[in-house]
Structure 1
Amino acid sequence: MDMQIRNGRVLLPDGDVRRTDITVADGVIRELGGARNGQPSLDVRGRLVLPGIVDLHGDGFERHIMPRAGVSFERALGLLDTDRTMTANGITTAFHGLTVSWEPGLRSRDAAHAFLSDFAAVRGRLGCDTRLHLRFETYNLPALNEVQAWLRDGLVDMLAFNDHIDAMFSNLDRYAKMSGYLDRTGLNRDQFIARITEIRERAEAVPAGIERLAGAAVERNIPMASHDDPDPATRAWYHGLGCAISEFPLDEATARTARELGGKVVLGAPNALRGKSHINRLMARDAVRMGLCDVLTSDYFYPSLLQAAFALAREKVCPFPEAWGLVSAGPAKAVGLTDRGAIEPGRRADLVVVDDADPALPCAVLTMRQGAPVFSAGDLMG
């Protein structure tokens, strides 16, 4: 879609916010400033024009598929509904966090196969550039061959290594957590405990399985993350396997090690927005202040990305250009997407127009993917 976006307050790569026009042609930003007579134009009336949000880790789609315990809807419907939610909140690139676990139920092998099938069927209808972030539970050793085949066949855009065994054992007597596990798996408490006890006996074989999948990902240049790194030694081990992204490190020392090794640190936008961790781990705002955060992700709540960037600036945690970089340029760079994340000639015209008249509740009024509107609200589009 060729057009000119006029009268916007545009966030530029140098951090300046300047009134200028953006010329878009063939899905790419061609020019900043200047007028082209006869070209269709859109007057955004002084609103902010920002690079589209890139979300590296979102598993909120699970709640669109299973919105209530024991109540599931068609995955295709859930994925379409998720897409509407994401584009309405300025997300133009998203990595769905599909967990492939040893658990039965929502995160099982069968559920993963059904997801891949439905995702392939609806992908062309999605407004957001949606990709697959495969969250591999490291104790799921019987799935190694299959996951390696998915990597080989180009089905996976990002690979993360998850290990929730110890955390699950520590939560066996916590009603809220255990209820979540049982709802998700369809097991009763005794069955779940028996299952997780059996799975933990695989511990000695887990590192070799991780190394095998990491090697396959490196061969295909697939970005990798380790999830919930508990300490610097674990982060260093994963980094040595070519896994350069530390996703939700548990403490400052681990995050600092990730950065010292040249890796990227990913934290949750819900944490940054709320100003606290819901499980008492590393505070995102503290990490941002210390320069130990490269990326914010939606995690379980898609609206948090846009809102967190404005909240960080509003509460003087960091300047707004830096805050927006955590949800756009930062994640794009972390996974090698060099064609987006900034408003400058040659980049994709993935843009979000934000009405910030109410500083406490900014909202997206137009989201564009490669210059084509995928969400609009209000009267901008006539």
Structure 2
Amino acid sequence: MSVTFQGAQVYLPGEIVETNVTVDAGRIVEIGGPAQGEVIDATGRILAPALIDVHGDAFERQLMPRPKVFFPIEAAVIDTDRQLAANGIATAYHAITLSWEPGLRDVSRGREMMQALRDLAPRLTVENRVQLRWETFAFDALDTIAWALEGPLTPAIAFNDHTSMTMRAYDVAIQDRGFELSPDFSIASLDDDRMKARTGKNADRAGISEDAYIELLGKVWDRRAEVPDSIRAVAGMGRAAGAPMLSHDDTRAETRAWFRDIGAGVAEFPMVLEAAQAARDHGDPIIFGAPNAARGGSHIGSLGAGDMVEAGLCDVLASDYFYPAMLAAIARLDAEKRADRSRLWSLVSSGPARAMNLGDRGEIAVGQRADLVLIDWPDGHAPAVLGTWVAGRAAYRGVPAGAGA
């Protein structure tokens, strides 16, 4: 049956107009015509393309709410899905880390999470996809990557190297480190007490002692010479599957160029201007974290997402570690007049769609999938999601207490 959203401020590509939008059979079938079928009164509200989250790992808090305390995976997945819907996110790429670490980010646990997403799909409300957030020293993840690429979750692949980041020299800031695969990469000593300070949180997450973590890190670091070939192998699998591929936390133009050459055409969270500009110069989509924009800056001293939006060096804002940050980021950037609302909304809709090659969503246009979000956004106040529709199906509806007043 047709459904018409009547009288909303509709975020169309490049403009905002008050009009009607009609959907039928999961698609947008008319813009501006008379009401048909069920009518949803959207007067005074915003109707926008639903959010697309290309990188979110907040689900880890549902899996492990406290260090070393794991929750039943089905309950965690269902709760995560409902959080996504309530935050207006219709398509989510869960950044599932496949690491050499035991514990939360172990390869087997990542596979278990993906299997749960597959098994629970009929009970979930939004489209739950996967970003294979592969730690490039985790060679035992390749079988799981191949399995995931052959399955229904249509993954993206993100090349992460937190191992080299951890092993950088002590006098080198994260943002100042060189290209990780360079022979000139400066290396820290594992025997230095500063390594315990650097890896303590990781050890806690992995559920092992600091000494055991550092010992394991040393063994993994011994694989370094084999890492480039392993990366090329995974990139080859990604290209064969048509998977979007991303490099993560780039600090050099050289890094971006190396990954672009193997097919990773998206820059995720570049840490310095050189890397962001290198991406822009070659037309690579650039992703920044929405929490960065919502808070007014990076919590680790990297580039400010708001500044990058204003400079035209950001195409996508991802939830990163907090789903509500996407809408909060748009609100803050709007208040700061970083760009007009059409441009800002594209950072969570059409921008992510283009970066992930999702041609059927991300805009309110005839023929597009009816992924929509209804927003209450009073002047001077935070926006709130009133409803989320995925392919025309209501994934979330919220009725405020004062709605009948």
The two structures share one fold, judged by TM-score above 0.5 = yes
Counterpart of 1:142 in 2: which secondary structure?
Answer: helix
Question: 1:334: Cα distance to partner?
Answer: 0.7
Contact preservation (8 Å) 1:60, 1:301: yes
Q: What pairs with 1:151-300 in structure 2 (closer than 5 Å)?
A: 151-153=149-151, 155-169=153-167, 173=194, 178-300=199-321
Q: Which moved more, 1:250-259 or 1:151-160?
A: 151-160
Which residue identity lines up with residue 333 of structure 1 in the other structure?
A: R
Q: Render the CA deviation track for 1:290-347: whole Å, top value 9, x for unaligned.
A: 1111111000000000111121111111111111100100000111101111111101
Question: 1:195: Cα distance to partner?
Answer: 0.5
Question: 1:141: Cα distance to partner?
Answer: 1.5
Counterpart of 1:73 in 2: which secondary structure?
Answer: coil
Which residue identity lines up with residue 100 of structure 2 in the other structure?
A: W
What is the rounded CA distance, in whole Å, between the counterparts of 1:296 and 1:149 in structure 2? Answer: 28
Which residue identity lines up with residue 289 of structure 1 in the other structure?
A: E
Q: What pairs with 1:265-344 in structure 2 (closer than 5 Å)?
A: 265-344=286-365
Q: Hey, what does 1:7 align to over in structure 2?
A: 7
Question: 1:41: Cα distance to partner?
Answer: 0.7
What is the rounded CA distance, in whole Å, between the counterparts of 1:281 and 1:349 in structure 2? Answer: 36
Q: Hey, what does 1:67 align to over in structure 2?
A: 65
Change (3 A) 1:347 1:278: same
What is the rounded CA distance, in whole Å, between the counterparts of 1:322 and 1:270 in structure 2? Answer: 18
Q: Hey, what does 2:174 align to over in structure 1?
A: none
Q: Hey, what does 2:183 align to over in structure 1?
A: none
Q: Hey, what does 2:374 align to over in structure 1?
A: 353
What is the rounded CA distance, in whole Å, between the counterparts of 2:268 and 2:322 in structure 1? Answer: 16
Question: 1:358: Cα distance to partner?
Answer: 5.0
- In structure 1, list runs of 5 or more residues that go unmatched: none
Contact preservation (8 Å) 1:55, 1:94: yes
Q: Hey, what does 1:114 align to over in structure 2?
A: 112
Counterpart of 2:194 in 1: which secondary structure?
Answer: coil
Q: Hey, what does 1:31 align to over in structure 2?
A: 30
Q: Hey, what does 2:397 align to over in structure 1?
A: 376
Q: Hey, what does 2:55 align to over in structure 1?
A: 57
What is the rounded CA distance, in whole Å, between the counterparts of 1:365 and 1:305 in structure 2? Answer: 15
What is the rounded CA distance, in whole Å, between the counterparts of 1:291 and 1:76 in structure 2? Answer: 40
- What stretches of structure 1 move > 4 A for 4+ residues in a row? 153-156, 174-177, 379-382
Which residue identity lines up with residue 101 of structure 2 in the other structure?
A: E
Counterpart of 1:98 in 2: which secondary structure?
Answer: strand
Question: 1:142: Cα distance to partner?
Answer: 2.8
Question: 1:124: Cα distance to partner?
Answer: 1.7
What is the rounded CA distance, in whole Å, between the counterparts of 2:38 and 2:153 in structure 1? Answer: 38
Contact preservation (8 Å) 2:287, 2:315: yes
Question: 1:176: Cα distance to partner?
Answer: 7.6
Q: 2:100 aligns with which of 99, 102, 108?
A: 102
Percent identical among aligned pairs is 39
Q: Render the CA deviation track for 1:56-105: whole Å, top value 9, x for unaligned.
A: 00000001111111211111111111111111111111000111000101
Q: 1:140 aligns with which of 135, 138, 141?
A: 138
Question: 1:173: Cα distance to partner?
Answer: 3.5
Change (3 A) 1:379 1:279: closer
Contact preservation (8 Å) 1:51, 1:341: yes
Contact preservation (8 Å) 1:2, 1:371: no
Q: Render the CA deviation track for 1:213-257: whole Å, top value 9, x for unaligned.
A: 111111121100011112110110000011100111111110110
Contact preservation (8 Å) 2:118, 2:153: no
What is the rounded CA distance, in whole Å, between the counterparts of 1:102 and 1:167 in structure 2? Answer: 15
Contact preservation (8 Å) 2:371, 2:391: yes
Contact preservation (8 Å) 1:152, 1:216: no
Q: Which moved more, 1:95-104 or 1:364-373?
A: 364-373
Counterpart of 2:309 in 1: which secondary structure?
Answer: helix
Question: 1:378: Cα distance to partner?
Answer: 1.4
Contact preservation (8 Å) 1:239, 1:261: no
- In structure 2, list runs of 5 or more residues that go unmatched: 171-192
**How many pairs were matched up?**
380
What is the rounded CA distance, in whole Å, between the counterparts of 2:120 and 2:363 in structure 1? Answer: 28
What is the rounded CA distance, in whole Å, between the counterparts of 1:363 and 1:239 in structure 2? Answer: 38
Which residue identity lines up with residue 254 of structure 2 in the other structure?
A: A
Normalised TM-score (structure 2): 0.90
Q: Hey, what does 2:125 align to over in structure 1?
A: 127
Which residue identity lines up with residue 135 of structure 1 in the other structure?
A: R
Which residue identity lines up with residue 16 of structure 2 in the other structure?
A: V
What is the rounded CA distance, in whole Å, between the counterparts of 2:379 and 2:6 in structure 1? Answer: 22
Q: Please report the RMSD computed on the Cα atoms of aligned residues, expressed in angstroms.
A: 1.9
Q: 2:148 aligns with which of 150, 155, 160?
A: 150
What is the rounded CA distance, in whole Å, between the counterparts of 2:240 and 2:386 in structure 1? Answer: 41
Counterpart of 2:208 in 1: which secondary structure?
Answer: coil
Q: Which moved more, 1:351-360 or 1:318-327?
A: 351-360
Contact preservation (8 Å) 2:111, 2:144: no
Q: Hey, what does 1:19 align to over in structure 2?
A: 18
